[in-house]
Each structure stands twice: as structure tokens, then as C-alpha cells.
Amino acid sequence: MKPSSLNPLALIFAAVAFVSISAPAMSQTMIVINEDRILRESDVGVHIAGRLQTISEEMDGELRALREPIDAEAERLNAETQGLTQEAVQQRPDLMQRIQTVSQQAQQFEATRQRYANELVATERAAMRPVLEALQAVLQEVVTARSADIVMDRSSLVYAGSSVDASQDVIDGLNARLPTVPVNRVRLPEDGGQPQQ
């Protein structure tokens, strides 16, 4: 399972840019932020990525344990019905019951697999909430320190010189303010109710 690729800084960048745009167009100072780099290289970003990987591997192990007996029974059924016609299989209530049971188990497994994927996304979102709050303050500090009027994400630009790239300043500020956060697996109920941590 892979964590989702969120764009968590887009709203913060837009808010900081909107608040910061006040000078005439010719005298505006722009800084560039590399969102991917900030999330990849900051202490908290590295921590979250590592924990998400561990949680994903745990989920994969749980799913394998659920899937193995289903696959084993399906293989046994295939072996038992290999030489039989469809009519012959349908006249055997024991085989029909086992086929129906395996089919239901396979459907339940797919629902569980999808729930686990949703849990991983919910886990990532929950872990990112305090990061986004800290980033907003760090970005404002960097904007003030650099007397910037505009903040752009590097992915939106064709070219930007290194003198306007404030990514390292943001990483340093984020590392000082929030080096780690709790990353706990969010568990979604099978019935679609409220998540649990």
C-alpha cells in the first residue's frame, strides 16, 4: 500500500501569498518553496514517511494472513472440480456451499483491503494536521524575514534562481518548531462509522 500523495501546502501557500501581496507589481519580492523537498527532507516529513511505511507493511501482513486461507481453499476447490462438468458440480451441495463461502470471503477480503487503503490515507491526513499548522507559522516567519510579497511553489515555475528558493529556511524552521508528530494508525469501522485511533 502506498500513502496518498497529498498537496498539503497549496492552501497555506495561497493564504500566505494572498496576505503578502500588497506592493505594486514591479516592486514585489517573491520567494520559492519546494513543497516536495520540505515534506521529504524535514525531520517531521521523514518521520511521517517512515511511520506510514511501517503501518503499510503491518497492513500488508494482516491482509496476507486474511488472504492465504481463501487462496488455499480456492486451490483445493479447483483441484476437486477439475475433472467435473458444471452440472456435476451443481449437483454436489457440499461443493456449491464451499464455492459460495469462498466467493463471500473473497468479497469480504476486497472490502477489507479497500478499508485498509482508506485507513492509510486517513492516517496520513491525521499526521499532517499539526504539520500544516506549524508550516503556516514557519512560512509567515520566512516571508517576514525575507520581506517577501509572494510565495510560489517550485512545481508551478519553469525557472527560479537559487537566491529566491527559501525551502531550506522553511525546513530549518519546521525542524526547530516540530521535529516529530504522533503517527497512529486510524482504524475505520467495517460498517463505515467514525474512525478510531
Q: Note the pLDDT tens digit of each residue in 85-125.
A: 999 999 999 999 999 999 999 999 999 999 999 999 999 99
Whether the pTM exceeds 0.85: the reply is: no
Classify burial at 139, counting beta carbons within 10 Å of its beta carbon; exposed 0-12, middle 13-18, buried 19 or more.
Answer: buried
Model confidence pLDDT, tens digit, residues 70-94: 999 999 999 999 999 999 999 999 9
Please name each of the domains of the chain with its CATH number: 10-177 (3.30.910.20)
Sign of the CA dihedral running 120, 58, 188, 41: negative
The H or E element spanning position 44 is helix 43-81
Buried b (16+ CB within 10 A) or exposed e, 154-171: beeeeebeeebbbbebbb
DSSP state of 195: -
SS3 157: coil
